[in-house]
Structure 1
Amino acid sequence: MIGSHVAVGGGLVKVGLAEADQIGAEIIQLFAGNPRSWAPGAANPAADEAFRAACAERQLPVVVHAPHLINLGAPSDLVLSRSLAALELTLQRASDLGAIAVVVHAGSSVTPGRRATALAALPNLISPLVDRADPEVRLLIEPTAGAGESMASTIASTAEYLQAVNDERVGLCLDTCHLHAAGEDLAAPDLLDDLRNIALIHVNDSRDPRGSHRDRHESLDAGTIGLPTLAAFLAHPVLAEVPMLVETPTHERDVALLKSVKRPTPV
C-alpha cells in the first residue's frame, strides 16, 4: 500500500478523504488533533463514524500520528504524565476512527547520560498503555533525526530501543529523512538486517545532508537523498509488504512517483 499524510482541518471526510481520493492514496495518515498542543480536539462522534464508514467503504487503512509534544523519555514527571495521557487519548481516537496504528516519536532523554535510565523505564510506560488500548490499533515507534539526546535515531539505537520496550505488540515506523539525517547510508544493502517489527515507512527526501540531524522533509528526488538511494532502500526484502506513506510538500506527485518506483511498468 502506498499513500500519504493528509490534512483534515475542515473535515475528516470533506477534506481528508477528498485529498486521499484525489492523490490515489491506498493508505492515509492524519493528526487527530493539534500536533503541537496537549489539549485534545473536541469530540464529534458523528463525524468519526462517518469517516470510519467512508474509509471502510473504500477499504482505506488509516494511521494516526500522535502529537509532537509527547516524550516518553522525559525526565520531568509533568511532561511524562502529559505524554502518557496524550498517547492514551491518541490510541483511543485512533480506535474511534477505525485506524490500524498510532505512530509516536521515540522521544529524547533530554539530559546527557540519562538514555540508559530512560530506556529501562520504557516497558512500564508502554506496555500498560498497549494493554488498555484497542488490540486492533498497533502502536508504532518512529525514530527521530538524532538531534539532542534522541533515544532512537540510528539503526543501532532503534534496535536497542525496541529491545528495551520488549513487547512484540509494539512495532516500528521508519522515516527515510530521519535515518538519513541520523547518518545512515540508505543504500547499504544490509542496513535493515538487524531490525524487526517494521510496520510502516515514511518515505521522504531530505533538505539537508546526511548526518545533519535536521528533520526537514523534501519532495522525492528533490533533496539530498535522491531517488536512486530511496529506491535502493525500499528494495530491501524486509520492506516488500510494508505500507509506505509520503510526508512531503507534494503529495500527489510523490505518491505517483513512489508507485512508479515500487511498481515499475514492464518493458
Structure 2
Amino acid sequence: MKRRQNMFKIGCHLSTSKGYANMAKEIHRLGGNTFQFFTRNPRGGSAKAIDPADIAEFHELCGEYGIDVILAHAPYTLNACSKDESTRDFAKRTMADDLVRMEQTPGNLYNFHPGSHVSQGVEAGTEYIIQMLNEVLSENQSTTVLLETMAGKGSEIGRTFEELKTILDGVKLSSHMGVCLDTCHVYDAGYDIVNDLDGVLAEFDRVIGLDRLKAVHINDDKNPFASHKDRHEKIGEGSIGTEAFERIINHPSLRELPFYLETPNEAEGYAKEIALLKGLYR
C-alpha cells in the first residue's frame, strides 16, 4: 500500500510569491507531491524574476520530497483567440516568455485556457489559437503545453473534445502538446464522468487519444450536470461527489497522471482534501 500511495501524484494550486523552493516545502507540508502555480499575476502581465539560488534549492527539494512533475498555469488574461489584435499579441508574448522561463524547471507541464472567440465563431477563434502555438512552440523545448477542457460558458473554445482535437491537429509541433482534463469543466460541458466515466474516457480516446492526456484538475462542481457554469466546489460537496472521485483517481487510464486541486480552499482545506484522496487511492 505504501508503494501505491507514493505513486499517487496529488497536489493543489499554490502561490508563486515566495518562490519555487517554498512551493515545494508547502506542498510537502500539505501532504502532496506535485503542485500547480501561476507563471505570473493571473489577472495581469507581470512575472517575478527567477532566482537561480531558489531554482537550485527547488531541484534539491524535488529529489528529497519525490516531486517529479509540476504544472504551470498561464494567466487568465491570456486569450489567444480574441478578435482584438493587441490581446492576441499579449497572449503570444506572454506564452513565449513563459516557455522560456519554464526551461529553468525542464520537462514539466504548462496549461492554458484556449480562450473565448467573442462572436467571431469557433472556426476563426481556433485558427488564431493554432497560429499562436505555431509561432511560440520551439522544437527544442522540454515543456509540454496543455489545452484545458472547458465548461462551455459564453464563447469559450474547448467545450468539446472535437474542438480541442482541431487545435491539436493544426499544431506543427504536436509532440509538444497535450490536454489537461478538468473534472468540473467536463461535467459542466455535458460529459457524464459520474455515471459513465468509462464511456467519457472512451470518447476522449476515440477523438483525441488517451496518450494526449497529461494531467487532471480535480474539482467538484457547484452546479448540476451540463450546466455550462464553471463553478468549482470542494471535493465531496458538489454534484460530482466523493464516490465518483474515487473511481476517477483509480481508473486505469488516469491513476498514473498528476492530479491538481483547484477547489475553493485555503491551505489547510487542501491538506484535508489531499489526505481524503490519498485515502481513496488503491
Query: For residue 5 of structure 2, what is the aligned residue in structure 1?
Result: none
| Equivalent residue for 2:18, pick from 10, 33, 39 | 10
Match for residue 141 of structure 2?
135
Superposed displacement of residue 36, structure 1: 1.0
Answer whether contact 2:103 2:141 (CA < 8 A) is retained.
no
Greater helix content: 2
The answer to whether 1:204 aligns with 2:213 is no
**For the Cα contact (< 8 Å) 1:206–1:217, is it kept in 2?**
yes
1:211 Cα deviation (Å)? 2.2
Q: Distance in 1 between matches of 2:33 and 2:49?
A: 28
1:45: how far off?
3.1
Q: CA deviation at 1:99?
A: 5.8
Q: What aligned pairs does 1:27-38 form with structure 2 within 5 A after superposition?
A: 27-38=34-45
Is 2:190 aligned against 1:190? Answer: no
Counterpart of 1:225 in structure 2 is 240
TM-score normalised by the chain length of structure 2: 0.83
Q: In structure 2, list runs of 5 or more residues that go unmatched.
A: 1-8
Partner Cα separation in structure 1 for residue 107 and residue 12 of structure 2: 14
Task: Give 2:66's aligned amino acid.
Answer: Q
**Aligned twin of 2:277:** 258
The whole-number CA distance in structure 2 between the counterparts of 1:238 and 1:151 is 25
**Which residue in 1 is equivalent to 2:66?**
59
Structure 1's consecutive aligned runs of 4 or more residues displaced over 4 angstroms after TM superposition are none
Aligned partner (choices 38, 57, 79) of residue 87 of structure 2? 79
Q: CA deviation at 1:176?
A: 0.3
Does the 8 Å CA contact 1:155/1:192 hold for their aligned counterparts?
A: no
Per-residue deviation, 1:98: 4.1
Aligned-pair identity (%): 27
What secondary structure sits across from 2:134 in the alignment? Answer: helix
> What's the CA shift for 1:219?
1.3
CA contact (8 A) 1:3 1:245 kept: yes
Encode CA deviations 1:16-48: one digit per residue, 9 max, x unaligned: 223211122121111232111112223433323
> 1:209–1:107: structure 2 CA closer, same or farther, 3 Å change rule?
same
TM superposition shift of 1:230: 2.6
Q: Which residue of 2 aligns with 1:107?
A: 115
Q: In structure 1, what is the Cα distance between the partners aligned to 2:262 and 2:63?
A: 23
Deviations 1:132-168 (A, max 9, x none): 6x53211111122211111102334333343344613
Measured in 2, the distance between the counterparts of 1:10 and 1:128 equals 32
Say whether residues 1:119 and 2:119 are aligned partners: no
Classify the secondary structure of the residue corresponding to 1:230: helix
Q: Which moved more, 1:163-172 or 1:80-89?
A: 163-172
Cα pair distance change 1:43/1:18, threshold 3 Å? closer
Corresponding residue of 1:242: 257
Q: Which amino acid aligns with 2:270?
A: H
Query: Does the 8 Å CA contact 2:21/2:55 hold for their aligned counterparts?
Result: no
Q: Distance in 2 between matches of 1:85 and 1:72?
A: 10
76-85 or 205-214, which moves further after superposition? 205-214
